[in-house]
Structure 1
Amino acid sequence: MKLIPVKPQSQWFPKPMIMGCEGVAASMLLNGAVSPEKLMKYWPKHDSNPEKGYVGHPSSISLNSHQTIFPSAFVPYLKQFDSNIADGTGASLSELETLLDHNQPVLIYHTHLGFTALERIFHTSDGKKHWVSNIHITLLIGYDKKYYYYIDPLWMKIGPLLLPALFPSRRQIMKMSRRRFKKSYETPGRLCIYKKEGV
């Protein structure tokens, strides 16, 4: 089993950022060197296309837009804080396991809690875009023969209960079967961000 020790952070603490999983996961990827609040305050923004910047506001839900920021816009921004940040879009899970073996966690876009992908057509200033709408950004930190392990900025588990992660906790470390995680990661398009040093 491989499990990288990363200090969990929460979208709910110290103030709720219910649509800010990208910023919280990125802060964990950067080892907490930059706070989620700072990352989200200055990241690139766009009115409708997450390929060009964050759409919406992290503290509120916008129903008619794809409220996220994709690696194409996020990676150039994150390079300001660490030049080794790389866009891993297209990487297979076996390739991501190699990164984990080198103690490098991976910011990963996958369907929320491994649910079936919900595909939608979004109207952007660049035309119609076909995207998986129920994505969630987490930090992949480990794997074994049966599961992948990740830190979920939004949720925590106490026994069988899934609860909002109102404060940072090791209970935010989730596991998902390899088969389910593979589908959850691949359906939205194998979107991920990592640090390329030492690989």
Structure 2
Amino acid sequence: MFEKRQRFGLVKLLDLELPTWQADVRFRGRSRLIACAVLETDAGLILIDPGPTSTLKTLESALTPLGGLQAVNDVVLTHIHLDHAGCVGQLAANLPEVSIHVHPIGARHLINPERLIRSATRIYKERMETLWGAILPVPASQICAIADGTLLQIGRRALRACYTPGHASHHIAWFDDAAGVVFAGDAAGM
């Protein structure tokens, strides 16, 4: 049913003209803990919730059969918690043309992550770096603050933003209406 590229940790979730993949980033060396959705478009790749910096090398390897990290044009975030978005500062540094799509509340914490880092360090203490890796700021020029109901058109792919506060005040679920799929982040109680 699903096409697997196990060597790279990719599983095709939707076999459409423009496929959707899941890249298992093997958090702490374990599978099925954190995954990034990878959407192919005619304008490059979209990453949804690329994960922490500590797993970025695994994500880079997973993207190899799809053109590698350099094929990424857009990063779409459901929210900015480190397990979903910890690596976006590093991605922005590596890919200065990439656009990061995020809730306005989350945007300010990506531009200046000091408060996010302080808060997470209170919880994770000395394990912070090992668990999540380095948390870098994202240049404001790469941030696209998304309003509720925004239709994000990237090539022939369209994602509709729906504010879903609860797990985080800045949470967004992304609907791919054409495919009949929602990228819910942690809004579904997972």
What TM-score results when the alignment is normalised by the length of structure 2? 0.31
Greater relative contact order (CA < 8 Å, ≥ 6 in sequence): 1
Structure (1/2) with the larger helix percentage: 2
